[in-house]
Amino acid sequence: MINITNLHKNFGVNQVLNGIDLSIKKGETVAILGPNGSGKTTLIKSILGMVRPNSGEIYIAEKNVKNKWDYRRHIDYLPQIANFPGNLKVKELIGMIKDIRGNDNTREDRFIEIFGLKPFLQKKLSHLSGGTKQKVNLVLTFMFDSDMIILDEPTSGLDPVSLISLKKLIASEKEKGKTILITSHIMSFVEEVCDKLVFILDGKIYFNDTIQKLKETANEENFEKAIAHLLTRAYV
């Protein structure tokens, strides 16, 4: 599904990605983790075409995405911070995003129900809490039913009930064979929903395997402790 070869990106003198090689199969749910500044956000934005790498190649569904844009219609993306006009009502925002994507064959009603957003459809975004805005963002992300989903900190601001709903939703999308990339600082969430872990450090992939393999390598049953072991070993 995704094949990345020798990807480099620098911003001025700051080398952010330093020779990334990564292959993600169709149907895998992969966590992309790393400390702040490690390059994970730049990697995701490179996949999305929001950042242009200095060198290297990115193939999605066996097609080189360099200087392309139409492939993004087949990716559903939840940004970590989504800034929408505060004067728009929730229903208006949903309609606007459908117009931008040029796709009326959506399934927003199902997710409006799942995340309890019916009472908020006629409310302006500026009047919503952070958690409710995140639920709106999740509806906008999942309603297009694309083959690939990228979720950047999807649990931000969610109450426990909505978090459970999100986990069930990811599980149902996995069953359909979708490819899902997730970044999160909540290790319990990552452990529960992801199959594999890609750990990025200083612009390079330091670990790329299953979560169980990481635990075995670190000799730790606790996932957070295994991550800590990974970091400790990296900086020795």
**Exposure string for 144-170, b = 16+ CB within 10 A, e = fewer:** bebbbbbbbbbbbebeeebeebbeebb
Q: What is the pLDDT of residues 97-124, one digit of tens each?
A: 988 887 777 889 999 999 999 999 999 9
How far is the C-alpha of 223 from the C-alpha of 218, rounded, in Å?
A: 9
Kindly report the pTM of this predicted structure. 0.92
Type of residue at 70: D
pLDDT value of residue 235: 63
pLDDT confidence of residue 3: 93
Percentage of the chain lying above the pLDDT 90 cut: 70
Residues 6+ apart with CB under 8 A from 229: 218, 219, 220
Q: Edge-to-edge, what's the strand order for the sheet holding 196-201?
A: 75-78, 148-152, 179-183, 29-33, 196-201, 204-210
Contact between residue 120 and residue 113 where contact means Cβ atoms under 8 Å apart: no
More confident residue, 104 or 12: 12
Task: Check if the beta carbon of residue 108 is closer than 8 Å to that of residue 143.
Answer: yes
- 2-234 carries CATH number 3.40.50.300: yes
Structure tokens at 160: 């426990």
